[in-house]
Structure 1
Amino acid sequence: MMRSRSPWVLPLSLLVALLLTLLPIPPALQLLRPYWLALVLAYWVMEDPDRVGLGLAFVIGVVADLVVGTLLGEQALRLVVITFILQRFRARLRFFPMSQQALAIGALLLNDRIVALAVRLTLGEPPLASLAWFSPLVGMLLWVPVFMLLDGMRMGGWGRR
């Protein structure tokens, strides 16, 4: 198991994912915004499971709930579910080709939408708009570039002179 050569990459990548979540985008595209925290957390669960697990997913989710202003615990629940599934299937997923990994991440993000829908319906809120169901597709398409960027940074290929 190869450890991160740059200890700052994990916290920095999670901070950037949180900032991307807050980045203002046009209202028409708001529902297509990928779940950046899930993508970054998925990378770290797969590549550095000794440092990233259910506890960190919960803490990051609660911080995201506080920062974004969603129901306290909603994103924590969603990120814990994603992390749990990834931990369960990590040994297989790591050896999938990138295209199959992207499909698996897309399925996880679709599952996340189902969990978010269940939370909304439990609270008596209206269901997600139909356009929001395309967000997992956007996340699936972004998986390979996110993976390559974080892998390059983790392995120390970035920032060296």
Structure 2
Amino acid sequence: MSRRDDREGMLVVAGSVLAALVLTVVPLPVALEPFRPYWVALVMIYWHLESGRLHGLGPAFALGLVVDVLTGALLGRHALSLVILNFLLRRFRNRIRFFPPWQQALAVGALLLNDRVVHLWVVGLLERSWPGWAFWLPPLVGMALWPWLFLLLDGLRSRRRGGRA
């Protein structure tokens, strides 16, 4: 792989992460807000599984801090959850990546539910009120969106390669 190909690959990854960050902060109607998936985690999962990019714990932590700052969450909350998510992806990457997208959706749903448990743990440490049932909707929406997001990002990745293997 040439430097130019590697640089173009990183631009596609950075562009998709930037799009996920924008989708994270774009305003939604109040009725749809509980259904917002964790876009950054979904994009990170894709790039980790398919190309091995974003596989380090450092980039996951930094990306989580960016999400914390953009959303106004407790600093480190998303960073912790993305580091744990990334660790689990490193552990199970070879098993998950060869599933078809609809089966991957189940594994992604389990990873996103684990992410919600981490967020619940942080809420419990802060002794705040427990979230309602809508707290559990984003992993389900992310799981439902996974096959289409997978196909979209896979199309971007293969277009960048120009049909090369």
Count of matched residue positions in the alignment of Structure 1 and Structure 2: 158
Higher relative contact order (CA 8 A, sep 6+): 1
What value does the CA root-mean-square deviation take over the aligned residues? 2.0
Gaps of 5+ in 1: none
Task: Using the TM superposition, name which of 5-14 and 107-116 deviates more.
Answer: 5-14
- What's the CA shift string for 1:35-76, capped at 9, x where partnerless? 000000000111122553211111100111111110000000
Structure 1 counterpart of 2:66, one-letter code: V
Equivalent position of 2:137 in the other structure:
134
Q: Tell me, in whole angstroms, the C-alpha distance in 2 between the residues paired with 1:149 and 1:40.
A: 11
1:51 and 1:82, CA in 2 relative to 1: closer, same or farther beyond 3 A?
Answer: closer
- The corresponding residue for 1:18 is 21
Q: CA deviation at 1:156?
A: 2.1
The answer on whether the counterparts of 1:14 and 1:41 sit within 8 Å (CA) in structure 2 is yes
Q: Distance in 1 between matches of 2:127 and 2:115?
A: 18
Measure, in 2, the Cα distance between the counterparts of 1:98 and 1:133.
22
Which of the residues 31, 43, 57 maps onto 1:28? 31
Is the CA contact 2:46–2:150 (under 8 Å) kept in the aligned structure 1?
yes
Residues 45 and 119 of structure 1, relative CA distance in 2, 3 Å threshold: same
- Decide whether aligned partners of structure 1 residues 50 and 40 sit closer, same or farther in structure 2, where only a CA change above 3 A counts: closer
Aligned to 1:88: 91
- TM-score, normalised via structure 1 length: 0.91
Matched, 1:42 2:11: no
1:157 Cα deviation after fit: 5.5
Query: Equivalent residue for 1:98?
Result: 101
Aligned 8 A contact 2:44 2:54 in 1: no
TM-score, length of structure 2 as denominator length? 0.88
Aligned partner of 1:156 in structure 2 is 159
Aligned-residue sequence identity (percent) comes to: 50
Tell me, in whole angstroms, the C-alpha distance in 1 between the residues paired with 2:75 and 2:97: 32
Q: How far off its partner does 1:152 sit?
A: 1.1
Return the alpha-carbon distance in structure 2 between the equivalents of residues 82 and 94 of structure 1. 15
Q: Are 1:66 and 2:69 an aligned pair?
A: yes
2:118 counterpart residue number: 115
